[in-house]
Amino acid sequence: MTDLVKPHTLRRMRDLIERGLAPAEDRAALDAVAERYATAIPPAFLELIEKPDDPIGRQVIPTPAELLTAPHESIDPIGDDALSPVPGIVHRYADRALLKPLLVCPLYCRFCFRREHVGPDGGLLSDAQLDTALNWLRDHPAIREVILTGGDPLMLSPRRLGHIVRTLSAMPHVETIRIHSRVPVADPARMTPELLDAMETDRAMWLVLHANHAREITDDARRALRAVQARAIPILSQSVLLRGVNDTPEALEALLRAFVTARIKPYYLHQLDPAPGTAHFHVPIAEGRALLADLRGRVTGLAWPTYVLDIPGGHGKVPLGPDYLDQDAEGLHVRDPNGRTHDLPR
């Protein structure tokens, strides 16, 4: 009887080449990429790849293009490092803060703005560092919302995640806890009852799912997400506008509809953050605005995300539109979804 080999996460360039996911002639360049940026493609995500350059493969398969750094790209494109008062905390807005308990992910997106930091050895906060971070949050009563990110907080053990959630829940000023994760689509089997138990709290708990293409919302992912929703935890989505992934009206519409049918409210569509080696994913802002304008009136308002730019340097997120209201000397004018202009009273 042949022993069954359990599928494993692909991490080595040799394995990618052997599976036909990367050309052998790129081996030297891919090894150079691997020295700088982590690679991980878990089995559930691997099954979705039909060819290396499809919308799923592009997100996770390394390419020599990552060795090219454009002049405008930065290793800290949104200024996290300058806004970190203690390890594991980023404080950009007055009423909320990020808590990054680890920098490990189930997969490593080739466009990640934290790609210089995340990886299998990217770091779990030590007990002392975690205590310092939690004490910082405890000592800042203006913080009403804590966003668990990383890395991916659902890669924590149930014990450690539960400890963090319970500690935050005991802080009178913390009203909302948000968890940002790729796990439900990247490794849905990880969403065990024990991990869900660790998310239990009497505070407002939200899960924000990161997915970029409709095919990521598989049956297994839906079951994992439904298990979260069964705990009375609402789910929002965030996506990144990516060349070759979701940069057509059809692809973006399919993604937004997939979220809504899975009972997920589209939240943010991010303009790509300029991390090193990510220029091949860039979609100009004007094109992104046109994409959303094309969908206005075609998809329900439930499916409408806010298109946002995280201003480089740590200056915060701003909405990018599209805009429908104009003003001139003659008054106010509004465009309808079909592009017709209508005058409004002052």
What is the tens place of the pLDDT at every residue in 29-62?
Answer: 999 999 999 999 999 999 999 999 999 999 999 9
- Residue owning tokens 């429908």: 324
Q: Where are the beta strands (DSSP E) in 57-171?
A: 89-93, 96-99, 145-148
Q: Considering 108, 112, 215, 307, which one is annotated as catalytic?
A: 112
Looking up tokens 């790209």 gives: 73
Q: Is residue 2 over pLDDT 50?
A: no
Catalytic residue at 27?
no
317 is catalytic: yes
Among the listed residues 105, 119, 159, 139, the one whose alpha carbon sits nearest the alpha carbon of residue 34: 119
Q: Tell me how far apart the alpha carbons of residues 239 and 255 are, in angstroms, rounded to a whole number.
A: 9
Please answer whether residues 280 and 67 qualify as being in contact, where contact means their C-beta atoms are separated by less than 8 angstroms.
no
Instruction: Indicate if the pLDDT at residue 18 is higher than 70.
Output: yes
Q: Is 110 a known active-site residue?
A: no
**Coil, helix or strand at residue 147:** strand
DSSP state of 61: S
Q: Are 9 and 42 in contact (CB under 8 A)?
A: yes
Annotated catalytic residue, options 100, 114, 115, 182: 114
Please indicate whether residue 215 is annotated as part of the active site: no
Cα–Cα distance between 62 and 29 in angstroms, integer? 10
Residue 122 confidence (pLDDT): 66
Catalytic residue among 76, 80, 105, 108: 105
Task: Report percent pLDDT > 90 for the chain.
Answer: 86
DSSP codes joined into one string, 284-298:
-HHHHHHHHHHHBTT
CB contact at 8 A, 206 and 246 = no
Annotated active-site residue in 93, 144, 231, 294: 93
155-161 contacts at long range (C-beta below 8 A, 24 or more positions apart): 155/102, 155/104, 155/105, 155/106, 155/183, 155/190, 156/101, 156/102, 156/198, 158/192, 158/194, 158/195, 158/197, 158/198, 159/198, 160/101, 161/195, 161/198, 161/199
Structure tokens at 50: 């039909």
Active site residue 326: no
Give me the residue label for tokens 């680890």: 102
Q: Pinpoint the alpha helices (H) of the chain.
A: 13-18, 27-36, 43-46, 57-60, 127-138, 158-169, 183-186, 193-198, 219-229, 249-261, 285-295
Q: How confident is the model at residue 120 (pLDDT cuts 50, 70, 90)?
A: confident
The question of whether 96 is a catalytic residue gets the answer yes
Q: Answer yes or no: is pLDDT of 68 > 70.
A: yes
Q: Is 232 left (phi over 0), alpha (psi -120 to 50) or beta?
A: left
The model's pLDDT over 80-95, given as tens digits with 9 standing for 90+, comes to: 999 999 999 999 999 9
- What are residue 205's phi and psi, to 5 degrees? -105, 130
Q: Is 267 a catalytic residue?
A: no
pLDDT band at 314 (very low <50, low <70, confident <90, very high): confident
Count the Cβ atoms, other than its own, within 10 Å of residue 280.
16
- Catalytic residue, candidates 76, 80, 152, 273: 273
Query: Could you say which of 80, 100, 108, 109 is catalytic?
Result: 109
> Is 263 designated active site?
no
Catalytic residue flag (residue 80): no
The sign of the torsion formed by the CA atoms of 246, 207, 219, 5 equals positive
Cα 168 versus chain centre, distance: 22
At residue 324, does pLDDT exceed 90? no
Distances (CA, A) of 128 to 63, 86, 156: 38, 12, 17
List 14, 36, 96, 231, catalytic entry? 96
pLDDT at 184 over 50: yes
Which of 92, 100, 160, 178 is catalytic? The answer is 92
Q: What is the mean pLDDT of residues 137-145?
A: 98
pLDDT, average across residues 67-89:
94
What per-residue confidence (pLDDT) applies to 3? 45
Asked if 100 is an active-site residue, the reply is: no
